[in-house]
């Protein structure tokens, strides 16, 4: 295999590599000049460049400590990184030809790698400064190489291309050498590109991301999770349906007492039963709200006597006690609505119980088609009264019985409201109070 001599250009010298030795991992990597005992000042930076995790050389060649000897000192800067990295990789693969102390080119030299650049942890080659000085310092060395028929490869970062083009326009020797293919100038974005160009791909392979088991089976895992979630939802839905269907059939069969008992059991049952009860209630509330929205109530005061007519004009919030009342119930929806209206006194039950015994319940029942009005005459009463009106889209004979029970026993109002809500019927409650109003007339 062809061997390469690596050259590090600096602003003062053209530097060759004398020797690279693997040292004990305890030792910090050092750069020395021509086998001297004194480490060069850039040694700590070289050590950081070698040692993982900050450095890249350990990752590239698998060893963490080196002594490297160079022909001339390098005091500062980082542009040596590219040439040193290339030299380490070549050294590992036994294709590096070392220079001598006083002779950069040896008899073994076949091809020159003249490289200047910095490298980051992704092996990207970055721009360097003072390219012009480095090139001018190397001109005699290039001429020497050409005389000895040694191929020169100038390796730079792609970011230095513009700088090099400017240099080229002012340097005839370089122009001719490049035209005659004696010097190849190569610009790279990363180290992989260089090794690819030198047909040394096998030496520095671009790492292929190793996929973990989970990453490899990502597709099948996602499919499995979709299936799992689908099955889970199906099982849950089935379980909910098993509990919901009896409620629906009880509702359809108008078996209200059993329906309400079952619902009550569900509310205190297991999680599925609670969910079913919650959804059933929610759906019935939606249905109930929908009916309520269809209905508009309008109280109209009136009095037939001429003396009181003016007192019963519409538009006031309070209505004179001499006025009679009409309740106008209008259906603004598209579907027909059935209504059941109960008027009962708010007086204490004990007081009125003796009166109610033989009295017929004050319940009005009717049907309002779409965009029609139903008028209820609320006869004048000197007692405060409550109007409890139930609405449904289908006729239910049992509602009259429930209202009758409320009329007899007002305390049943709360439980009746719950029952009506549970069955999805709409309702309104209006209290008409009989009050004395004292106005300050002064």
Partner 1 sequence: MNNKDKISDTFLALNYLNLSKNYSATELKSKFNINMVWDVYSNPFKYQNQINHFLKNKVFSDAYFLILKNEGCIYQAKLNAASNERVFSRSSNEFKIEIVKSNKNEDVYYLIIKIINDIDLQLSNLYVICDNKTDCIKLPILNDKQAQILIKKSDNFFNLITNPNAEIFIR
Residues that bind partner 1 (CB under 8 A): 19, 21-24, 26-28, 30, 32, 35, 37-39, 44, 47, 67, 69
CB of 27 to partner 1, least distance (A): 5
Cα(50)–Cα(343) distance, integer angstroms: 96
By beta-carbon proximity to partner 1, the closer residue of 54 and 380 is: 54
Collect all residues with Cβ–Cβ distance below 8 Å to 244 and sequence separation of at least 6: 276, 279, 280
CB of 48 to partner 1, least distance (A): 9
Distance (Å) of CA 285 to CA 291, 418, 420: 10, 11, 10
SS3 (DSSP) at 219: helix
Q: How many Cα neighbours within 13 Å face the side chain of 417?
A: 9
Q: Is 228 exposed, middle or buried (0-12, 13-18, 19+ CB in 10 A)?
A: exposed
By beta-carbon proximity to partner 1, the closer residue of 21 and 166 is: 21
By beta-carbon proximity to partner 1, the closer residue of 32 and 259 is: 32
Angle at 374 between CA 371 and CA 376, to 5 degrees: 160
Q: Hey, what are 52's tokens?
A: 């993982």
Q: How many residues does the chain have?
A: 442
By beta-carbon proximity to partner 1, the closer residue of 24 and 439 is: 24
By beta-carbon proximity to partner 1, the closer residue of 19 and 320 is: 19
By beta-carbon proximity to partner 1, the closer residue of 67 and 126 is: 67
DSSP secondary structure string for all residues of 371-388: T-EEEEEE---SS-EEEE
Closest to 194 measured CA to CA, from 209, 184, 208, 180: 184
Strand 426-432 relative to strand 385-392, pairing: antiparallel
DSSP assigned state of 38: S
Q: Left (φ > 0), alpha (ψ -120 to 50) or beta: where does 324 sit?
A: beta
By beta-carbon proximity to partner 1, the closer residue of 20 and 420 is: 20
Residue bearing tokens 């091809």:
111
DSSP H helices in 329-411 = 349-356, 398-408
Using the CB atoms, write b or e for 318-334: b if 16+ within 10 Å. Answer: ebeeebbbebebbbebe
Residue bearing tokens 């569900």:
266
Closest to 365 measured CA to CA, from 332, 333, 401: 401
By beta-carbon proximity to partner 1, the closer residue of 22 and 356 is: 22
CB of 46 to partner 1, least distance (A): 11
CB of 186 to partner 1, least distance (A): 32
By beta-carbon proximity to partner 1, the closer residue of 47 and 190 is: 47
By beta-carbon proximity to partner 1, the closer residue of 13 and 28 is: 28
By beta-carbon proximity to partner 1, the closer residue of 21 and 233 is: 21
Angle at 31 between CA 26 and CA 33, to 5 degrees: 135
Closest to 42 measured CA to CA, from 86, 82, 80: 80
By beta-carbon proximity to partner 1, the closer residue of 26 and 435 is: 26
Collect all residues with Cβ–Cβ distance below 8 Å to 280 and sequence separation of at least 6: 244, 247, 263, 266
Q: Hey, what are 50's tokens?
A: 């070698």
For the chain, the first-to-last Cα distance in angstroms comes to: 120
């Amino acid at each position: 295999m062809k061997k390469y001599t690596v050259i590090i250009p600096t602003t003062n010298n053209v530097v060759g590599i004398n020797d690279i030795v693997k040292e004990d991992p305890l030792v910090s990597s050092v750069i020395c000049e021509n086998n001297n005992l004194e480490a060069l000042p850039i040694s700590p930076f070289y050590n950081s460049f070698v040692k993982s995790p900050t450095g890249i050389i350990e990752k590239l060649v698998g060893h963490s400590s080196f002594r490297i000897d160079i022909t001339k000192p390098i005091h500062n800067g980082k542009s040596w990184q590219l040439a040193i990295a290339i030299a380490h990789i070549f050294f590992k693969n036994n294709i590096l030809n070392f220079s001598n102390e006083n002779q950069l080119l040896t008899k073994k030299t076949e091809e020159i790698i003249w490289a200047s650049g910095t490298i980051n942890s992704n092996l990207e080659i970055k721009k360097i400064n003072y390219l012009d000085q480095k090139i001018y310092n190397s001109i005699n060395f290039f001429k020497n190489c050409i005389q000895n028929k040694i191929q020169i490869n100038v390796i730079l970062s792609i970011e230095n291309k513009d700088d090099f083009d400017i240099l080229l326009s002012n340097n005839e020797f370089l122009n001719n050498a490049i035209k005659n293919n004696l010097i190849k100038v190569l610009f790279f974005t990363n180290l992989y590109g260089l090794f690819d160009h030198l047909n040394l791909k096998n030496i520095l392979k671009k790492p292929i991301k190793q996929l973990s088991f989970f990453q490899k089976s990502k597709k099948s895992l996602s499919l499995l999770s979709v299936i799992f979630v689908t099955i889970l939802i199906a099982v849950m839905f089935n379980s909910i349906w098993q509990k919901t269907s009896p409620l629906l059939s009880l509702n359809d069969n108008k078996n209200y007492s059993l329906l309400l008992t079952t619902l009550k059991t569900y509310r205190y049952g297991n999680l599925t039963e609670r969910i079913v009860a919650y959804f059933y209630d929610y759906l019935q509330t939606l249905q109930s709200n929908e009916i309520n929205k269809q209905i508009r109530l309008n109280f109209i005061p009136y009095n037939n006597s001429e003396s009181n007519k003016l007192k019963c004009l519409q538009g006031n919030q309070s209505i004179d006690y001499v006025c009679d009342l009409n309740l106008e119930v209008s259906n603004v929806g598209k579907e027909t609505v059935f209504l059941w209206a109960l008027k009962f006194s708010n007086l204490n039950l004990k007081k009125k119980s003796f009166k109610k015994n033989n009295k017929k319940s004050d319940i009005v029942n009717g049907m309002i088609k779409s965009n029609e009005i139903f008028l209820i005459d609320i006869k004048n009463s000197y007692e405060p009264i409550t109007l409890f009106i139930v609405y449904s889209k289908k006729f239910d004979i049992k509602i009259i019985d429930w209202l009758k029970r409320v009329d007899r026993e007002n305390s049943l109002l709360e439980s009746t409201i719950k029952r009506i809500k549970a069955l999805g019927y709409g309702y309104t409650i209006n209290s008409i109070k009989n009050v004395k109003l004292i106005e300050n007339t002064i």
